[in-house]
Chain A
Amino acid sequence: MQVTNSKNLAIQFVSSLILHKIMDEETMVMGQNITSVPENLKKQLAVSIRSIQWSYAIFWSVSASQPGVLEWGEGYYNGDIKTRKTIQASEIKADQLGLRRSEQLRELFESLSIAESSSTGTAVGSQVTRRASAAALSPEDLADTEWYYLVCMSFVFKIGEGMPGRTFANDEPIWLCNAGTADSKVFGRSLLAKSASVNTVICFPFLGGVVEIGTTEHIAEDMNVIQCVKKSFLEAPASHATISQQRSDYHIDNVLDPQHILGDEIYAPMFGNRPFQATSPSRTTNGFDPEHDQLAEDHDSFMAEGINSQVQSWQHMDDELSNCVHQSLNSSDCVSQTFAEAGARRVSCGARKGRVQRLGHFQEQHKNVKMLSFDPRNDDVHYQSVISTIFKTSHQLILGPQFRNCDKRSSFTRWKKPSSSSSFGTASVVPPSQGMLKKIIFEVPRVHQKEKLMLDSPGVGDETANHAVLEKKRREKLNERFLILRSIIPSINKSDKVSILDDTIGYLQELEKRVQELESCRESTDTETRGTTTMKRKKPYDAGERTSANCTNNEIGYGKRTHVGQAEPTETSLTDNLRISPFGNEVVIEMRCVWREGVLLEIMDVISNLNLDSHSVQSSTGDGLLCLTVSCKHKGSKIATPGMIKEALKKVAWIC
């Protein structure tokens, strides 16, 4: 925000006045077609608008530069002011206030357009404003209605189009109520009006152009108002009394004397209280002030409410906007919502850093617009430019998708649906998808891990070294157990682990079957039949057959047994319960004993204690007897003699 001091202010004032004078001259030059624009048009507008206490007045004059087009001729702003920062405490003359404000607004407009035309596109931001002209106002300072007024300055109307254009063409006044909700075909600035709370707008042909007046209040159609304005133009200032009152709070005293306005152009700071005096013309301005203040306050509070409701409506419109996003560009509804949102947002958010005045940019656009026919699409382009102007000053993204094309400084362009059906997956080039990303996530960390492992492997790392040793031990243990298993299982031929396990499985299954059968056999036969079945190193099914055969035989005969298979003496012989047969390093132990639980284990224990490595064991039980044939090998240096073996076995097996 600019900090102005009184000196600056004075300088600005003088410059604005000069500008004002220049503009006046321009105005005079421009309106030469039918009637010249009166020199004191501004003051007359001021007088008239103040007399009826409406918000603004604009004189649309026929353009000198372009035929058949109405453009801004003159204007007076009498509406709500947002900031009083450019107002000294003493400068409370309402008429001066109003004039000054209008001038400031025009000045701001000019400065924005100058800024744009002079900007080289590099240095942006508020520096541009400062460089271009010392405008007293900056966009942040403006109230909504002031914005409306300012933006109106950029408008042009082809004769016959737009409200002023139609007015001019038909030579008939147009009265519009609820301007904010009007159809944009009827009133092109309806959205602007909406955000500015301008409710009633009248256009009437006058003085060779069109006078437009507007107010934020809803005024019913009344031709008297127009008469009033016209009269105030043409009549001497003194005859204000004849102007009919539209409002109850209208004070004759407070009508300005245009001469006064003219005369007091160089301000000297005036201090003092604000006595309410309603008499002499020279003091009328003082008298007006409390009222004006009060009005202003009313307006301010109204504005505040307006702002709040606008903010709320923005929230709502935000949602609607999202729907709009997908509508066509030509929809002015969309635009209106955007703009209204824009207006509200701008007001409610206050100053933002780095505002760039791009008004001139849209003037450029605006010049293009002049050449086109005034159809809704044109409206959109115009609004587009207006919005882009406004939103360059605040938030880029809120600009919305439709309007980004105006934004020449953005690196991004508006997205369009790709015309070709090149959807994902049908791309012509197929590089590895997400190549670098995947490498970062998957490969780079593993590189680190590998690094670590490589660092560790030269034997220094404790963990890995330990690991190896432990692993080796584990392997050794496993191998050992496989050997034992191999020794137990009779049918093992090969020594690879898989076969050992396979054979073990087979053996176990076989044993299970046999046990079941034997148990069932034993139940059926009584204890009297003593049958032994010897399991040989035969295939399981053979053993099974034998078993069953023996069973049956046992059933039939007593003491008779038939024995099929290899000849190994199985007859019970009381004397032959234990036989040790040494063959070199090997010993074959054959024995028979009473079966009891765990006896086999005990016998095996004894055998191994005798340093004998048994590699083949055949056992069979029947009738409470255990028949056992063990082939073992001496291991170690200590060799057990057959006698020793016998002794030991006798002890454990209770063989007498």
Chain B
Amino acid sequence: MDNSAPDSLPRSETAVTYESPYPLYAMSFSSSSSTTHRIAVGSFLEDYNNRIDILSFDPDSMSVKPLPSLSFDHPYPPTKLMFSPPSLRRDLLASSGDFLRLWEITDSPSSEPLSVLNNSKTSEFCAPLTSFDWNDVEPKRLGTCSIDTTCTIWDVERSVVETQLIAHDKEVHDIAWGEARVFASVSADGSVRIFDLRDKEHSTIIYESPQPDTPLLRLAWNKQDLRYMATILMDSNKVVILDIRSPTMPVAELERHQGSVNAIGWAPQSCKHICSGGDDAQALIWELPTVAGPNGIDPMSVYSAGSEINQLQWSSSLPDWIGIAFANKMQLLRV
């Protein structure tokens, strides 16, 4: 847990590193407008006992330090962590795993679980969650997706299920809100579908992976320009950019990673930039042009990390910084 800069990088002095005792996967930036920025990182231990650590980041002094009093245990690795959106006044952290859990981050005496949201009607069995997304526009709405092919929309204020939809034919891997009542999800069946809560019977497939049944692993919706979404396929080095107005045909396929892509994140302040991180240990920032060149789109800039980048977060609370996680390190890169 030191602030040592990574080695063998020319720009090492500009990246801020946190070294954790265990491998990290889940990561989230707090959105509160408080002066200190908080980062929650979830461990990845193939074990029951996992931990969520809360770090405090100071961009001016370029330092990150853990706040042990706020950290807490979590059963099994959290598959995703997310702080509540700024429109929700409170500072809550949600984690997904076996259930959806909400935590209140306080240090008096320690962070406590606020609620455990279980949508199963029979005893204890609830399909485990692969991911979730908190709606920015409607902050009491949170959507989860699960391996039982369903997506569940929660009202987290009242801790009840708003609705549950069978979203796909196979396990749903990721979900992203576009606006208050519209979300999109990706699944092992290889499709990206958009759902509108006003019309739950119908969904629109806006993309299907070219090799049938190639699972799509992650989805990111561009909050600055809702036309565009990005998704990544299993075992692929491509980031597929989709325009929701023209279904089935991707707008661009960004193919410059030398390994499979693991994480994507749109820029919070610009509508044309996206960052991706992959198994080639590179984080690439891309600028999407209006017209692509004949050889495809080249990235704008690159950062080489120490090992495969598993997670990437580009938060609107810190638009000049990109957080990446690789091995047991979390790094903040200045854009």
| Chain A residues near B (Cβ < 8 Å) | 122-123, 125, 318-319, 322-323, 325-326, 395-398, 400-401, 404, 408-415, 417-418, 422-424, 427, 431, 433-441, 443-449, 451-452, 455-456, 461-463
Residue among B60, B61, B129, B255 having the largest count of chain A Cβ atoms under 10 Å: B60
Among the stretches B160-168, B201-209, B278-286, the one at the interface with A is B278-286
Complex alpha-carbon distance, A417 and B255, angstroms: 12
Are A441 and B298 interface neighbours, CB within 8 A?
no
Contacts of A413 in B (CB 8 A): 10-11, 301-303
Instruction: Name B120's closest neighbour in chain A (CB-CB).
Output: A452
Contacts of A322 in B (CB 8 A): 287, 289-291
Q: List 19 A-B contacts (CB under 8 A).
A: A318-B290, A397-B269, A397-B273, A397-B300, A408-B14, A409-B14, A412-B283, A413-B301, A414-B300, A418-B258, A431-B279, A438-B217, A440-B130, A441-B79, A445-B79, A445-B128, A445-B147, A445-B171, A447-B46
Complex alpha-carbon distance, A269 and B310, angstroms: 64
Are A415 and B299 interface neighbours, CB within 8 A?
yes
Instruction: Name B267's closest neighbour in chain A (CB-CB).
Output: A397
A423 in contact with B291 given A412-B333, A441-B79, A444-B76 (CB within 8 Å) = no
Complex alpha-carbon distance, A412 and B146, angstroms: 36
Residue among A400, A413, A418, A461 having the largest count of chain B Cβ atoms under 10 Å: A413
Are A448 and B128 interface neighbours, CB within 8 A?
yes
Are A434 and B302 interface neighbours, CB within 8 A?
no
Are B269 and A437 interface neighbours, CB within 8 A?
no
Are A401 and B14 interface neighbours, CB within 8 A?
no
Contacts of B258 in A (CB 8 A): 418, 422-424, 427
- Interface size of B by Cβ–Cβ distance < 8 Å? 68
Instruction: Name A327's closest neighbour in chain B (CB-CB).
Output: B293
Judged by a CB distance under 8 angstroms, whether B241 is at the interface is no
Instruction: Name B322's closest neighbour in chain A (CB-CB).
Output: A411
The 4 tightest CB contacts between A and B, nearest first, are A322-B289, A445-B128, A412-B301, A411-B333
A620 to nearest B CB, angstroms? Answer: 55
B205 to nearest A CB, angstroms? Answer: 20
Contacts of A400 in B (CB 8 A): 300
A433 in contact with B235 given A409-B14, A415-B299, A440-B77 (CB within 8 Å) = yes
Contacts of B310 in A (CB 8 A): 436-437
Are B10 and A436 interface neighbours, CB within 8 A?
no
A410 in contact with B279 given A397-B273, A415-B298 (CB within 8 Å) = no
* Given A400-B300, A433-B235, A461-B123: 6 more A-B contacts, CB < 8 Å: A412-B11, A412-B285, A417-B298, A423-B258, A441-B130, A449-B127
Complex alpha-carbon distance, A462 and B122, angstroms: 10
Are A433 and B76 interface neighbours, CB within 8 A?
no
Are B259 and A409 interface neighbours, CB within 8 A?
no
Which of B123, B128, B301, B334 is close to A449, meaning CB atoms less than 8 Å apart? Answer: B128
A445 in contact with B129 given A401-B300, A410-B11, A434-B260 (CB within 8 Å) = yes
Contacts of A396 in B (CB 8 A): 320, 335
Contacts of B98 in A (CB 8 A): 448, 451-452
Within 8 A of A (CB), among B285-327: 285, 287, 289-291, 293, 298-303, 308, 310, 320
Judged by a CB distance under 8 angstroms, whether B22 is at the interface is no
Within 8 A of A (CB), among B80-126: 97-98, 122-125
Are A397 and B335 interface neighbours, CB within 8 A?
yes
Which of A326, A434, A438 is close to B298, meaning CB atoms less than 8 Å apart? Answer: A326
Judged by a CB distance under 8 angstroms, whether B231 is at the interface is no
Which of A326, A422, A434 is close to B293, meaning CB atoms less than 8 Å apart? Answer: A326
Complex alpha-carbon distance, A185 and B52, angstroms: 60
Are A415 and B334 interface neighbours, CB within 8 A?
no
Contacts of B280 in A (CB 8 A): 427
A323 to nearest B CB, angstroms? Answer: 6
Complex alpha-carbon distance, A413 and B97, angstroms: 36
Residue among A408, A412, A414 having the largest count of chain B Cβ atoms under 10 Å: A412
Complex alpha-carbon distance, A436 and B289, angstroms: 32
Complex alpha-carbon distance, A422 and B260, angstroms: 14
Judged by a CB distance under 8 angstroms, whether B262 is at the interface is yes
Contacts of B302 in A (CB 8 A): 412-415
